[in-house]
Each structure stands twice: as structure tokens, then as C-alpha cells.
Structure 1
Amino acid sequence: MMGGLEAAVAGASSPSWSQRVRAGRDLASFADVPEAAEALVGLLLDVEDAAVTRQTAEALARAGTVAAVRLIALAAAEADDHQTDWLQTGVHDALVEPDDVLDLAAVCRQLARDPNEAVRRGAAEISAWAVGAKC
């Protein structure tokens, strides 16, 4: 792994919520790298601080890649109600500035054909959030 990526992956397990938030932001552009993806899902499902969940979801939604949104979908399929609320808030935060976000609905349509049922289920949920954010 590269130095910056390695440091961000290490930051994902920090006891400091602010370091975990920073790790989520730093790792979002590496969503297609297995080590980063694993750390990002952990941050999306952070049980200690909702800010970590929210800001990691926002960073991934802003990245807007299929790999990034797929991680949000995986987390949404596993999340409890509290985590789901913060995942949704993070996605909504990213949609406030649509210039920086790919069309999440189009990405979710791609993920609707994913072989993993949890990804398909999570993508449907994200798609509903994106529609709700535009209303």
C-alpha cells in the first residue's frame, strides 16, 4: 500500500472520532481498493460516533463512483435504524451541492444488477433517499 493510503487505513481504527472522520474522507477516493473498502464499511457502520457515519457517507456520495456508492449500499443493508438515519443524512449532505456529485440514481441503477443481494437492497434504499432529497 502507499504511505497515505496506509496512514488513512490506520486512522480508520483510531480511538479519536475526528481521526476516523478524516480517514473516511481520505479513503473515499480509494473505494475500489480492498483494504480501503473494508475500512470504509467499518466507518460507515461506526458504533461510537454518528459523525463518522455521516461524514464518511457524504465523502463516498461525493466521490460518486460505483465502488463508493456500493460501499454505502452494503452499509445500508447492514445498518441499524440509527446508522441508517446518519447514512441517509450524509447522502443528503452530498446532494446539497449537486455539481460535485455524480447522478446517484444512475449509479444505483447499475448497482441494481449487482450479484450481491445486499448491494441491490442498499442501492434501492439510496435511490429512494436521492429522490427524497430532490423533493
Structure 2
Amino acid sequence: MSGLEAALAEASSPSWSQRVRAGRDLASFADVPDAAEALVGLLLDVEDTAVTRQTAEALAQVGTPAAVRLIALAVARADDSHVEWMRTGVHDALAGPDGVPDVAAVCGQLAQDPEEAVCLAARELSTWTDEARC
């Protein structure tokens, strides 16, 4: 079983810690359709907000347009609680010592996305990056 297949299997585990690991492991595969679907599911995890927070952090650390777009898609579908946990995860990534790609620049690109929900959520994500810099 490949690393991608193993992470996809973990994404549906009953164990929150395995789902967290799946979110971290899948983040670099954000442009792969099966991984993208699983990642949005992890961002919207109904059983444990640690999964939401750490998956958002992992995707922000990757920082590619595909990764940040998944956060935007989840924000567009999420309730207020999940949005707050995603926001915290993004802040954690931006405040980390390792440095991350310019998520704000990616949000600017996504603000032109043809899908209106992604546009609006990308604009909200952009405000999170501004807050993290303060």
C-alpha cells in the first residue's frame, strides 16, 4: 500500500489521532482528487476539532493554491465552530518557526476563483493571514 493509499484509509478511521495523521500526510497531495475530497472531510470532521485544526495547519504549511483552496472550500461549508478551528490552524502554521509559503498571495489568487464560494472564503482567509502578521 502506498503512502497515499494508507493516508486515505486513515482519513476514515474511528481514531481521531489517525485522522489527524491522515490530514498531515494528505496535505501534500491536495491536488489529487481523492486526497482533496478526504481533506475537506477532515477539515469538516464532526467528531473532533483537533482533526479540523491540524488539517488546516498542515494545508496552510503546504501553502499551494490547491491546498489553500481546500481550506476555502471547507470554510464555505463550515459552521462557525469549524471556521474558528480552521482559523486557529492557519494561524498556527503562519506563526510556526519553519516559515510557510505566502498564503496571503495564494488567497489573492483564489479571490479570482470562478467558484463564488471559494472567492468569498479566500477573502476571509486573507484576513486571517493579516491577523497572524500582527
Scaled by the length of structure 1, the TM-score of the pair is: 0.96
- 1:81 aligned partner: 80
Between the aligned partners of 2:36 and 2:90, the Cα distance in structure 1 is 17
Between the aligned partners of 2:97 and 2:3, the Cα distance in structure 1 is 28
| Percent of aligned pairs sharing the same letter | 75
- SS of the equivalent of 1:126 reads helix
Residue segments in structure 2 that go unaligned for 5+ positions in a row? none
Between the aligned partners of 1:121 and 1:80, the Cα distance in structure 2 is 15
- 1:95 aligned partner: 94
Query: RMSD value over aligned CA atoms?
Result: 1.1
- 1:34 aligned partner: 33
Q: Please give the per-residue CA displacement for 1:78-122, whole angstroms capped at 9, x wherever unaligned.
A: 110100110000000001126431111100011011111111111
- 2:19 aligned partner: 20
Q: Please give the per-residue CA displacement for 1:22-54, whole angstroms capped at 9, x wherever unaligned.
A: 000000000000000000000000010000000
- SS of the equivalent of 1:82 reads helix
Structure 1's 49 and 125: CA in aligned 2 closer, same or farther, altered over 3 A? same
- 1:64 aligned partner: 63
Between the aligned partners of 1:4 and 1:134, the Cα distance in structure 2 is 34
Q: Please give the per-residue CA displacement for 1:41-70, whole angstroms capped at 9, x wherever unaligned.
A: 000000100000000000000000000000
Between the aligned partners of 2:52 and 2:13, the Cα distance in structure 1 is 14
User: Segments of 4+ in structure 1 off by > 3 A?
Assistant: none
Q: Which amino acid aligns with 1:87?
A: M
Between the aligned partners of 2:11 and 2:99, the Cα distance in structure 1 is 24
**Aligned positions, number:** 134
Residue segments in structure 1 that go unaligned for 5+ positions in a row? none
- Summarize the alignment of residues 114-133 of structure 1 with structure 2, pairs less than 5 Å apart: 114-133=113-132
Between the aligned partners of 2:68 and 2:131, the Cα distance in structure 1 is 17
Scaled by the length of structure 2, the TM-score of the pair is: 0.97
Once the two structures are overlaid, the 10-residue window that deviates more, 28-37 or 109-118, is: 109-118
